[in-house]
Amino acid sequence: MDKELQRIADEVEMLSGKLSALKQEIGKVIIGQEETVSQLLITFLAGGHALLEGVPGLAKTLMIRTLANAIDLKFKRIQFTPDLMPSDIIGTEVLEEDHTTGKKFFKFNKGPIFSNIILADEINRTPPKTQAALLEAMQEFEVTYGDKTYPLDKPFFILATQNPIEQSGTFVLPEAQQDRFLLYIKIGYPTQKDEEAILKATTSTFKKKLNKVISGDDIVRLQQLVREVSISDALISFVSDIIRATRPETTTNAYVKDWVDWGAGPRAGQAMILTAKANALLEGRLAVTLNDIKSVALPVLRHRVLVNFRAEAEGITSDKVASHLLNTIQIKGK
């Protein structure tokens, strides 16, 4: 192995140790939900944003706050409500006076979006105008107010939550905005063993203390290393075949033609490859495997494949469509 590869391998080993420590810190507070925690970390490493959906009481907010508390970065929580305005997120100009000269001037007061980790709590509770205020920040990593553009600090990570049950007074995220989220993560109920452990841990006086085990610079370097993870041409073709097969107008797959209205766009393929690379790096590897792709395919496609009304009536979800494609499409050359 040449010196450069050895250096990268040593760096990955060192940073992987910090990621393991991060998982352990999160595990002090969050019992079970290992897959969800891994998917959050994958999104973070890939430099994207995550949308979490789960019924009340599954520790969505606690999970994100715990993740933020174990990383040496700025964290802000924004509670989305029907009366929340875009200026409440990005900031606003206020009129101030220079006490020396007496001249008045406008000063931009930055909003909570100017942090490293943002918890957008119950994002579907706020109107589309306010939801759209996140779009530029999520995609361009900057905020424009008036004629000035303000860059956001890196790393920058938005974690949004939504409740799938209570729909009164909610505003469903438009498909275009959902596509901005790298992964759409669904949180399920805990196992009986985990639930008993949760009940025991949360009804006593003892509280776990979290340590900051990884820095912002470490996260930025990990995000750079993700893009250095190798992936074979065969696996890239496999990802392309999966994405193209979700589109009913071009696919030859009868299952997709029957149940899907709209397939995934090219951004889905980019997301699948990046998150597969992040999954490999999270496990300390510098090469993507087929299992890496399969492990991220569902949360990547969940919000990018839209099934038709007949599918909804029959209980056919985008997860079932993605699973069907993963089971039927083969890697070329095999």
Token pair listed for 80: 């989305």
pLDDT for the residue 166: 61
Together in a domain, 59 and 87: yes
pLDDT for the residue 247: 94
Beta-ladder partners of 109: 92
How far is 165 from 300, CA to CA, in rounded Å? 22
134 with 85: CB under 8 angstroms? Answer: no
Token pair listed for 181: 């989220």
229 with 222: CB under 8 angstroms? Answer: no
Q: Assign 277 a pLDDT band (cuts: 50, 70, 90).
A: very high
* Residue after which a domain boundary falls, among 181, 207, 228: 228
Q: Assign 142 a pLDDT band (cuts: 50, 70, 90).
A: confident
Together in a domain, 192 and 277: no
Phi/psi for 172 (5° steps) reads -60, 135
How high does pLDDT run on average in the chain? 86
pLDDT for the residue 276: 96
Together in a domain, 197 and 261: no
Half-sphere exposure in the Cβ direction for 248 (13 Å, CA): 13
How far is 229 from 209, CA to CA, in rounded Å? 34
pLDDT for the residue 333: 64
Taking residues 80-92, report their average pLDDT: 88
* Residue after which a domain boundary falls, among 179, 212, 228: 228
Q: Where are the beta strands (DSSP E) in 68-153?
A: 71-72, 75-79, 91-97, 104-110, 117-121, 142-145, 148-151
- Cα distances (angstroms) measured from residue 278 to each of 22, 24, 73, 269, 304: 15, 19, 20, 14, 20
- Given a cut of 80, whether residue 149 has pLDDT beyond it is yes
pLDDT for the residue 317: 93
Together in a domain, 72 and 206: yes
Q: What is the CATH number of the domain that holds 320?
A: 1.10.8.80
- Given a cut of 80, whether residue 332 has pLDDT beyond it is no
Least trusted range by pLDDT, from 91-100, 202-211, 221-230? 202-211
* Residue after which a domain boundary falls, among 205, 228, 251: 228
How far is 5 from 1, CA to CA, in rounded Å? 6
Together in a domain, 62 and 34: yes
Together in a domain, 199 and 275: no
121 with 104: CB under 8 angstroms? Answer: no
pLDDT for the residue 190: 83
Q: Assign 168 a pLDDT band (cuts: 50, 70, 90).
A: low
* Number of independent structural domains in the chain: 2
Q: Assign 305 a pLDDT band (cuts: 50, 70, 90).
A: very high
Together in a domain, 152 and 280: no
Determine the structural domain holding residue 326 and report its residue range: 231-333
pLDDT for the residue 321: 94
- Given a cut of 90, whether residue 274 has pLDDT beyond it is yes
pLDDT (tens digit per residue) in 7-52? 777 777 788 888 888 888 888 788 777 888 899 999 999 999 999 8
**In the chain, pLDDT over 70 holds for what percent of residues?**
96
Q: What is the CATH number of the domain that holds 87?
A: 3.40.50.300
How far is 32 from 126, CA to CA, in rounded Å? 30
Q: Which of 105-114, 177-186, 274-283 has the highest mean pLDDT?
A: 274-283
